[in-house]
Structure 1
Amino acid sequence: MTIYAEVIGDPIAQSKSPAIHSFWIEKLGLDAEYRPCRVTSDGLADYLAERREDLAWRGCNVTMPHKQAIQPHLSSIDDTARAIGAVNTIYPAFDRMLAGTNTDMAGFLEPLRGRLEQQHYFRMARVLGTGGAARAIVTGLAKEGFTLVLAGRNPEKAAALLDELAEGEHHTAPLSHFADPTDFDFDDREGCCDLIVNASPLGMRGQPPLAFDWSHAPPGSIAYDIVTDPVETDFLKAARDAGFETIDGLSMLIGQAAAAFEYFFGEKAPREHDAELRGLLTT
């Protein structure tokens, strides 16, 4: 019996998840498949009922617009998904009961782990965007001791998101605040960790660009863009031109997929092939 997992969403054709998981399946020589499956909002309940009865089905990743809507259809949700308020991975647990988790937070934090293991006097992240992806990012950074500035087109939505997901004193700003240059004199950042995160779809192919002036970034900041199409965004190019270190969206995408892969197939993803995988995803 060939086992399989899927990624579900609407639309789904743009997902890079099948390419990632299929690459790892081939490297490990598993008798398995990973497929895209378009599921509409009205079809969620029927999809899950059918797959639960299929012993070859080992779970699915969940993408927009279902990460929150799917939760009532599950038998259990772990603490990570509950804290984020969204599910991106479903798998059959005991007696084929459907369990939900979220690997987005782990995927986002993975390329930052080396820095987060260090001691800092202060950690601050400017997070741009208040959509679904921002939920995992805000939750993860708050847990890692960051003071957050969450910027969105609707500051009230940003404030509500912080109230729900992040304890402590955090701040909001309109997204437009960061579009124009500033002459703000940053204090000494020695021993600090500063992030500028694009958690929005702005800059994605077919979307408007993200207007961010890099005078708003403290010295030594790291620019992190979760957009994956294109991988080399204008946001990252401008950050690099301004002398900042950058992290691209494939880092989070591959990291969250690796965590999900183990739930589905019971094997660790062969991460020693990441460079080859990145080449495949950018061709």
Structure 2
Amino acid sequence: MNSDNLNLDVGPLVIGGVGGSGTRVLSKLAQDMNVHMGQFFNKPLDNLWFSLFFNQPKWAAAAHEHEVLQSLDLFARASLEGFKGNASPETEALIDACLSTSRLAIRAPELGEATKRDILHSVGIETSAYKQWGWKEPNSHIFIPQIAKFFPEARFILMVRNGLDMAFSRNQNQVILWGRRFGVQLDDPANVSPSQSLQYWLAANAHARRNLEELMPGRWLEVRYENLLADPVAEIVRIAEFIGTNLDPELSQELAKLVEPPATVGRFRAKGLEAFHPDQIEAVKALGFVVE
């Protein structure tokens, strides 16, 4: 593929979804389609700058609009232009304030400090090397209204995986952090039940779809993880068309090799459905997912 000058009129490309839904492969695909997805990642390819700014327990019940938009401004400036070690005292104070309350820094202080240093010494994007820019961070779906407001041309890929499988995932971080927003009351955050996890999955995805339909009409795409596994070439072509990239058949086949079915697909069958309310199972089925 040829590299074009960075086009800020069609971005950013945002990838999100309930944690554990398989967004990592979407980030890798986007990068291979010449989209700059960030500079500082963890193993799942989450953009850790976004994680530092936005995974804030203080926003667990509701977003503070001004603070979220302020964080988006800091994130965009670091991503696009970079602070290059010359951030103003006011900017550094704002970043410190985010760091002090960030779940990332609370859980992993050294990683939080490393992320802050990386932000302060960010160099921006080499505009001649990339076609578009964006990021992948599963929690992005929580902030769709603010993203749509700050980035009027933002586009969003929502990754959705069968909620019955998701309910038995070890990754319940979003339920713990954002569950209250969606009516999930946890007596013990260390023990999220499969039913509570599925309740969150149903509510969070419905909320994301409503926001996307209202605020990003024609600029969002839902990708079903199971469809990506079943026919990776067809789904990759669909994703590329959404991004605006023309793929030749050979490259489509090559990118399809990035899609590897994990052993956890269909794990709900071994676990059984006894943990769920019948209405929950019917809701999953109504969305077109396999429930047996």
The structure with the largest helix share of the pair is: 2
TM-score normalized by the length of structure 1:
0.32
Instruction: Return the structure number with greater relative CO, CA threshold 8 A, min gap 6.
Output: 2
TM-score normalized by the length of structure 2:
0.31
The structure with the largest strand share of the pair is: 1
